[in-house]
């Protein structure tokens, strides 16, 4: 009965995307190998695979394989593990071997119940590994299976449609794909995650066939935008929007949204360009994601209220309907432009990251007066950053204002503080399993632990601004998210399987690393005679590491956003869910960090 309760608990956590929670529930019940529940073992491996911890999932699968019956689900899970490794492998020989193993396991799963899911996966893998004969044979079988399947609910309709499309694409029947995908899209037009999964799978086939993606455009996820621009005239440091031009500018906005099929948007909500674009997105039932430099109450007071009650109402309504709202700091504006710059970077990074995750196009829509930015958080500065990524700005010119303009509110002197914030990357890591070490194992462990840390520090000493350790934990502060990503991944490679065996350390001992970026305070500690860093973002980072699987690096969405534009193409961030933090610290969207 306890096992059944744990299975229900693990399944509920899986639905919520809490992969670490699933693993923790399941793994504890797997400690007694003889009485372990096969369903819990399956869920533990699946949770690791979905979290992006492919290596750890493969290790656990080997450990529990003997208690897993050779069912379609279990064989498909093992095939998925090999497929994930195959897609990431660089060495041609290893890649081919992994691809064949994954294909053969899907074939074995297919023969159990003759279901189309493992069959279509085997067919696509056959194409990628160069076995066109098997690919075509299996694709024809899949089409017959789809014709024989009788759907009773919408979910099955979608999977039947996209599987038919995939089989036809494998067979080169490109003319038969668009109608099927159009029907599938109507079932899931708001399920961007599912559309993305399908688009990426079909795009992979197009790539290996050497054809364009024109025939699968019907299923492409929607276009993503960052948006920014001038405020109502009088609010900003340069000429803004004359209220008399609002409707004309809105017509241009609507035209761009329709032309580029824009449905997902990231931006702030200042009076003027921001709120105009946000409202037009919401009118089209699009997804609005709001990023503010500081608390919403303070932002409304400084960036909306001076334009009048009508704009305040627009702000309140947009916030209420937004899909997400993120505040760089949940506090008041302190009189420095850093928070505006941080907000601008997050808007660009999140839009770019979302488009990369979905496999869709990304643009920045700007209402611009043609003048340079007075600060790094301004419109022209954001346009330059976006272009540096190789992305296109969609510019709507803002005419010269004719009216006098509104009067902005001055920043109260009491809000200004002597200590300034600085954007820094923070790393927290600890060794899971450390507390279970025997007294006799500690000297060897500590010796090796500090030896590895010393090597990492020596290799990056000029990039590490602050370092602190206590027992099995380490806390680092760094200037660059790129450097923080590199150091984080190096930390996970401490204590290899071979080294653990040589030292007689537990098999499941390993590092879990969490990384974040945000504006934090820098101050001098007279006791240590060193600079130290503090603030709510430091506290938040400290809460992240328990959410991370052993051997993995989890990063926050702000970090994933910045690394996507600071080191585009170097690192890969895969979304792993909205995770609960310990000590009632709320929930946070997390990504698994890996190298491309």
CATH assignment of the domain containing 376: 3.40.50.450
- Across-strand partners of 225? 265, 363
8 Å CB contact between 222 and 192: yes
Q: Are both 444 and 367 inside the same structural domain? A: no
Question: Is residue 250 domain-shared with residue 392, that is, in the same domain?
Answer: yes
- Closest alpha carbon to 231 in 201, 267, 274: 274
Query: 63 with 56: CB under 8 angstroms?
Result: no
Residue 62 pLDDT: 86
CA 251 to chain centre: 33
List of residues 6+ apart from 562 with CB closer than 8 A:
345, 346, 349, 481, 517
Examine the domain organization and report whether 181 and 233 are in the same domain: no
Q: How far apart are CA 590 and CA 476, in angstroms?
A: 19
As given in the structure block, the two tokens for residue 408 are 């902005």
Domain boundary among 219, 247, 277: 219
CA–CA distance, 366 with 69 (Å, rounded to integer): 57
| Same domain flag for 266 and 204 | no
Angle, helices 116-128/132-148, rounded to nearest 10 degrees: 160
Q: What is the CATH number of the domain that holds 507?
A: 3.30.70.1230
User: Token digits for 272?
Assistant: 């003027």
Do residues 77 and 90 both lie within one domain?
Answer: yes
Domain boundary among 370, 386, 415: 415
- Mean pLDDT, contiguous 10-residue spans, the chain (596 residues): 78 71 74 76 84 77 88 93 89 92 96 94 95 96 89 72 96 94 86 85 95 93 94 84 94 96 95 97 95 93 92 97 91 74 94 88 95 83 92 95 75 56 92 84 86 93 92 92 96 84 79 93 87 88 82 91 89 78 72 87
Which two tokens mark 558? 């702000």
- Whether 578 and 508 map to the same domain: the answer is yes
Contact in structure between 408 and 272 (CB atoms under 8 Å) = no
The reply to whether 84 and 116 lie within a common domain is: yes
Report which of 529, 531, 555, 439 is spatially closest to residue 477, judged by C-alpha positions: 531
SS3 (DSSP) at 435? helix
Q: State the pLDDT at residue 21.
A: 73
**Directed axis angle between helix 192-209 and helix 338-358, to 10°?**
60
Instruction: Based on the fold, state whether residues 138 and 267 are members of the same structural domain.
Output: no
Q: What is the pLDDT of residue 16?
A: 64
Query: Where does a domain end: 24, 39, 64?
Result: 64
Q: Provide the token pair at 325.
A: 């709202």
385 contacts 350 by C-beta, under 8 angstroms: no
- At residue 245, the 3 state secondary structure works out as helix
What would you measure as the largest C-alpha separation in the chain, in angstroms?
Answer: 81
Is 181 in the same domain as 293? Answer: no
Q: Which domain holds residue 456?
A: 421-595
Give the pLDDT confidence score for residue 357 in this predicted structure. 81
Tell me the pTM.
0.83
Does residue 589 sit in the same domain as residue 453? yes
The two three-digit tokens of residue 306, written as one number: 């001076």
C-beta atoms surrounding 473 within 10 Å: 15
Look-up: residue for tokens 């009088």?
234
Based on the fold, state whether residues 391 and 244 are members of the same structural domain: yes
Can you give the CATH number for the domain in which 201 is found?
1.25.40.10
Q: Are residues 237 and 315 in the same domain?
A: yes
SS (H, E, C) 149-199: CCCCCHHHHHHHHHHHHHHHHHHCCHHHHHHHHHHHHHHHCCCHHHHHHHH
The closest of 216, 381, 222 to 286, measured between CA atoms, is 222
Domain count, the chain: 4
């Amino acid at each position: 009965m306890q096992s059944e309760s744990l299975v229900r608990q693990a399944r509920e956590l899986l639905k919520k995307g809490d992969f670490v929670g699933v693993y923790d529930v399941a793994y504890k019940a797997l400690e007694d190998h003889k009485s372990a529940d096969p369903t819990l073992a399956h869920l533990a491996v699946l949770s690791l695979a979905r979290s992006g911890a492919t290596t750890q999932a493969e290790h656990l699968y080997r450990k529990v394989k003997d208690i897993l019956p050779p069912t379609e689900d279990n064989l498909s899970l093992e095939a998925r593990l090999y497929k994930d490794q195959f897609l990431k492998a660089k060495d041609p020989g290893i890649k081919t071997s992994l691809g064949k193993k994954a294909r053969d396991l899907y074939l074995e799963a297919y023969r159990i119940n003759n279901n189309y899911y493992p069959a279509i996966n085997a067919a696509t893998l056959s194409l990628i590994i160069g076995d066109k004969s098997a690919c075509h044979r299996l694709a024809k079988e899949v089409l017959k299976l789809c014709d024989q399947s009788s759907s009773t609910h919408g979910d099955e309709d979608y999977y039947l449609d996209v599987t038919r499309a995939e089989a036809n694409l494998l067979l080169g029947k490109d003319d038969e794909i668009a109608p099927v995908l159009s029907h599938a899209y109507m079932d899931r037009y708001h399920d961007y995650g599912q559309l993305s999964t399908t688009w990426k799978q079909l795009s992979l086939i197009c790539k290996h066939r050497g054809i364009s993606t024109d025939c699968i455009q019907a299923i492409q996820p929607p276009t993503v935008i960052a948006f920014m621009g001038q405020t109502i005239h009088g609010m900003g440091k340069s000429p803004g929007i004359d209220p008399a031009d609002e409707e004309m500018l809105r017509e241009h906005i609507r035209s761009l949204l329709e032309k580029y099929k824009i449905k997902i948007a990231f931006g702030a909500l200042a009076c003027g360009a921001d709120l105009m674009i946000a409202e037009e997105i919401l009118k089209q039932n699009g997804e609005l994601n709001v990023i503010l430099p500081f608390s919403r109450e303070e932002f409304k007071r400084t960036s909306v209220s001076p334009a009048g009650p009508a704009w305040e109402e627009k702000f309140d309504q947009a916030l209420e309907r937004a899909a997400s709202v993120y505040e760089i700091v949940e506090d008041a504006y302190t009189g420095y432009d850093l928070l505006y710059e941080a907000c601008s970077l997050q808007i660009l990074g999140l839009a770019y990251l979302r488009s990369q995750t979905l496999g869709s196009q990304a643009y920045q829509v700007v209402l611009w007066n043609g003048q340079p930015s007075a600060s790094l958080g301004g419109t022209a500065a954001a346009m330059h950053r976006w272009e540096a990524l190789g992305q296109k700005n969609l510019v709507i010119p803002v005419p010269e204002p004719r009216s006098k303009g509104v009067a902005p509110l001055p920043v109260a002197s009491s809000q200004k503080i002597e200590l300034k914030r600085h954007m820094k990357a923070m790393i927290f890591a600890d060794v899971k399993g450390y507390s279970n070490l025997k007294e006799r194992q500690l000297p060897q462990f500590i010796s090796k632990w500090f030896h590895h840390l010393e090597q990492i520090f020596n290799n990056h000493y000029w990039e590490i601004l602050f370092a602190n350790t206590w027992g099995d934990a380490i806390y680092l502060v760094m200037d660059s998210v790129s450097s923080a990503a590199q150091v984080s991944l190096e930390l996970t490679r401490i204590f290899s399987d071979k080294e653990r065996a040589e030292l007689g350390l537990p098999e499941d001992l390993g590092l879990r690393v969490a990384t974040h970026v945000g504006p934090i305070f820098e101050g001098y500690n007279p006791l240590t005679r060193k600079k130290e860093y503090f603030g709510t973002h430091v506290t938040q980072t400290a809460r992240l590491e328990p959410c991370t699987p052993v051997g993995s690096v989890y990063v926050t969405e702000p970090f994933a956003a910045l690394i996507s534009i600071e080191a585009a193409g170097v690192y890969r961030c895969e979304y792993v869910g909205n995770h609960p933090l310990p000590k009632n610290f709320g929930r946070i969207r997390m990504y698994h960090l890996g190298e491309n």
